[in-house]
Structure 1
């Protein structure tokens, strides 16, 4: 959900916690910005400024979630990485004012419940996606159920994933899934190297959908489930829902044009 209103902070100017990726470019940027604007621990900050690429932004959101419970600190990202699809342009001037003027987008991640073969159920949060992947040379066989109705009795594939709008430009895009605008209220269900049915390209689902994957022939065709950085091996069933009780906030400059980035990405050669 996009809110055009600028966020409000406890302090003026806002107290900033700078975090950076483990690259020379990002570390140098953090040093300059800390010298210019100061730095506070994340627990005392109004906002977290993340310096890196999209992968580091994902790490920062998980870090904020771990510290802030279901309503963590807002994150303002600046691109010091390679792609930066969800990051603002890097500029050092007037950073406090940019943060104060920024529009905020509320993200709800996915909640994965992965049940292991003859084992426990593991829960994890996926901000980008939840994916199922074959563990051996044998293709995976999956049955896909949406809202208690079997939609695909058997998918033979390397795997499948469910992506959020924020994650639709990551693994989902590499698997030829659709790019989804932030705030669209849609999830992408995308196969990974589908063999049968060969022409099935996936589906767009309402954000409130309850998606279940049952792994067929678990002994012969073992499958792992991954929610961002959490992997559960040898699963027999995976349930995916939107975690409406968890809210993450990304901050964007008013001139940030996500729709233009979507169009540009779809017409790139």
Structure 2
């Protein structure tokens, strides 16, 4: 089995967990490749813990990611998991997250859990695969080398103290102008991220929809909107400022406020690993405390 290890900014305090993870994979006969930004930390950990780090190819982008991968293992939190999309891209490679961060809503396992609980399941293929839709942006204002796909959300936001106006068309049909700090379009996966913070709805991962939510709207009558993921979304911006901020997951680009933007469902989905220990609604309750109420414990 060929597994790629990906991660960044993992604290050295996690070295025993990382070392245990690598040793568990190697004992299972796994061949490893390494993200170049992570490799120096892994070398240091293996030296400190007294084991040999197996040889394997290094990769730094999608261009040099090994072709024969069975699994892409993202070590970190949700931000690292989102970054994985820019490496895996259109490749049909299963992505599994191991949480070394804080929340880890998208991750399949938590660092420090007994390895016998999840590493054998990974090696034996005893897991489910969730196909997560992506969202694509089209705009002449994007840099040539920008990867125009999001797993969570795409947003337009103001850069100055002045609110912005956003004209929106759904399949060519105009909606009332949004006057707000910005506008956010989320995938089902992104509905539990930034979209949740601005009052958007929670959407199950398999739902074929996008959620459109204003960010701090200056209007009492504006509410989040659910649309089918087969629609085409067009945006035009009104702003006193010459520039606005575009975010694509955890990446940001400054674009002219005159930019024309089009969004549609991505041509590929991201295959993510679920170990079946908990379902979507279990994760909502455990990690986001959904429905937490002391009265529920009195029944």
Q: Name the TM-score, length of structure 1 as normaliser.
A: 0.82
Q: Distance in 1 between matches of 2:7 and 2:241?
A: 43
User: How has the CA–CA distance of structure 1 residues 17 and 30 changed in structure 2, closer, same or farther, with 3 Å as cutoff?
Assistant: farther
1:48 to 72, 79, 87: 72
What is the CA distance between 1:21 and its match in structure 2? 3.9
Among 250, 257, 267, the residue aligned to 2:279:
257
1:10-29 matched pairs, under 5 angstroms: 14-24=1-11, 25-29=13-17
| Larger RCO: 1 or 2 (CA < 8 Å, sep 6+) | 1
Gaps in structure 1 of 5+ consecutive residues: 1-13
Q: Decide whether the 8 Å contact of 1:168 with 1:188 is kept in 2.
A: yes
1:112 equivalent in alignment to 2:137: yes
Equivalent positions of 1:45-84 (< 5 A) are 45-65=69-89, 70-84=90-104
Superposed counterparts of 1:96-135, under 5 Å: 96-99=119-122, 100-116=125-141, 124-135=148-159
For the residue of structure 2 that corresponds to 1:40, the secondary structure is strand
Separation in structure 2 between the aligned mates of residue 33 and residue 61 of structure 1, nearest angstrom: 22
Larger C-alpha radius of gyration, 1 or 2?
2
After superposition, residues 191-206 of structure 1 pair within 5 angstroms as 191-196=214-219, 198-206=220-228
Q: Is the 8 A contact 1:130 1:163 kept in 2?
A: yes
| Matched residue count | 246
Superimposed CA distance per residue, residues 113-148 of structure 1 (whole angstroms, 9 cap, x where no aligned partner):
13449x99x771111111000111111011111110
- TM-superposed CA distance for 1:184, in Å, is 0.7
CA deviations 1:125-174 (Å, max 9, x no partner) are 1111110001111110111111100022x211000010011111111111
**Structure 1 pair 27/111, CA: closer, same or farther in 2 (3 Å)?**
farther
In structure 2, runs of 5+ residues without a counterpart are 34-64, 294-299
**Aligned twin of 1:145:** 169
- The Cα RMSD (Å) is 2.5
TM-score normalized by the length of structure 2: 0.74
More helix by share: 2
Greater alpha carbon shift after TM alignment, 129-138 vs 225-234:
225-234
Q: 3-state DSSP class of the match of 2:167?
A: strand
Contact 1:164 1:187 in 2 (8 A): yes
Which residue of 2 is the match for residue 8 of structure 1?
Answer: none
**Residues 50-75 of structure 1, C-alpha deviations (whole Å, 9 max, x = no match):** 2221111111222221xxxx234211
Q: In the aligned structure 1, how far is the partner of 2:186 from the partner of 2:15?
A: 30
